Amino acid sequence: MEDPSITLHAKERPSFVWSDGFDGVTDVELKVLLQLSRDTLNSIEAEFESRLISKSSRQAGQIDAYSDRLREGANKIEIQERLDEKAAEHVKAAVKVLTTPQTVRAFMVYRTFLNDVLCQCGPELVLLCAACLGKAKVAALKEGDRISLLDLVKRKKSSYTSPILGRLATEYGIRSLHDKQEKKRKHAESPTSTSAGVTSESTPARETRKGGYTAGSTRFRGDIEDLIHPSPSTKVPERARTNFQMSTMQTTRQIQYMFSKAPLQFKVAFSGEKKGN
């Protein structure tokens, strides 16, 4: 199929296009072609605008039809206080789509829409959309129409929601999905344990190579007495106690060895004895 084109006609040039030039075309013919081209342009523009308006009207009509289905479905559920068989199947399918990975485009589109409704409108509206529309109708919409549908659901949320929808959302497991989603959102928005350089909890004591604790420790700031004779309220890690005892034994042995090699005068002076005259 050839691309669309406009063919011009003149007395000396029975058939040509504008890109071929206008050699052989008289001034009178050129003036006539100019007017015809303007009329053609205006006609094409008018037709194009008419089609755009018609398309927009059809899309708006489709969203309005979905709005009617949601309203009628909400009224039906309110009266019957249950889902009919077809609606129940749609809701079960929606829960499965929300809780399992999806690879097919239609199911991925449907899952995204349901998640948006769940997050922004709540579990009751997820149940209503699933029961009244189902995957096929939602996935068939273009992206802009799905956004318009989401906006419609958000604006009319209060008129759709009812205690019956809330109870059914709980029964079909949609509320638990909403609660999990809210828990994840709050966890993601919660402040970290460290803010502006200030920790929310005391920094754990760090062990040195010799089994002691650093000077900056917030748990054992040189409280050696707690390691030797801990009070009932003091919780001393077993590893810290063992390291301290080993370090004390090594220090004691070093002092004993140095004392055994010291001169007699140093030993006497250290023991407090006086040398006789």
DSSP labels, 185-233: HHHHHSPPSEETTEESSPPPPPB-TTS-B-TT-SS-SS-HHHHHS--TT
Q: Cα(74)–Cα(87) distance, rounded to whole angstroms?
A: 12
Q: Which residues does residue 8 pair with via DSSP β-bridges, in sequence order?
A: 16
Burial class (CB in 10 A: 0-12, 13-18, 19+), 38: exposed
pLDDT of residue 236: 55
d(CA 59, CA 179) in angstroms, rounded, equals 34
Tokens of 129: 């959309």
Residue 199, CB-side half-sphere exposure with 13 Å CA sphere: 5
Q: What is the pLDDT of residue 263?
A: 60
- β-pair partners for 198: 195
- Give the list of residues 6+ apart from residue 75 with CB closer than 8 angstroms, or none: none
**Is the whole-model pTM more than 0.75?**
no
Q: From residue 239, give the alpha-carbon distance in Å to each of 213, 232, 236, 247.
A: 12, 18, 8, 12
Could you state, in chain order, the average pLDDT of each consecutive group of 10 residues for the chain (277 residues)? 78 80 84 83 74 54 86 94 95 94 94 94 95 94 92 91 93 89 76 48 45 45 53 60 72 70 57 51
Instruction: Identify whether the C-beta of residue 239 lies closer than 8 Å to the C-beta of residue 208.
Output: no
Res 50: pLDDT? 64
Q: In 3-state terms, the chain is what percent helix, strand and coil (to 5)?
A: 65, 5, 30
Residue 153 in contact with residue 119, Cβ under 8 Å?
Answer: no
Find all residues with CB under 8 Å of 239, minimum gap 6, and list them: 207
Task: From residue 197, give the alpha-carbon distance in Å to each of 192, 193, 217, 232.
Answer: 11, 10, 17, 33
Nearest Cα residue to 223 out of 202, 209, 250, 205: 205
241-264 as b/e: b if 16+ CB within 10 A? eebbeeeeeeeeeeeeeeeeeeee
pLDDT score for 189: 76
List the one residue out of 136, 115, 140, 137 whose CA is nearest residue 126: 115
